[in-house]
Amino acid sequence: MGNILPWFYIVAGTYVLLNNFRMLCYSNALSKYLQTNPKGTFLVSKVGLDKAIKLSKTIFLPLGCLLAICFVWLGMRALSI
């Protein structure tokens, strides 16, 4: 039962990492996300769609990738101990 949390970290981190890579590679997916998700629509209403896409690609998505890699690393480290 104690090995469930590291596996959750690995699966969740991998899912977020793949989703962030998809958003970075396909601008259509990112713009659709920004227009339909409540967090995205809030950002779009504040700065506009073009600026929101630029901010997402330069700041938010790379930061999300870094955090997802940390989650995967944390899960793998917890399994190895």
Q: Give pLDDT tens digits for 42-65.
A: 999 999 999 999 999 999 999 999
Task: Name the region of 75 (left: φ>0; alpha: ψ -120 to 50; beta: rest).
Answer: alpha
Domain that holds residue 26: 4-80
Q: How many domains does the chain have?
A: 1
Task: Assess contact for 72 and 10: CB atoms under 8 A.
Answer: yes
pTM of the model: 0.86
**In the prediction, which pLDDT does 2 show?**
67
pLDDT tens, residue by residue, 1-11: 568 999 999 99
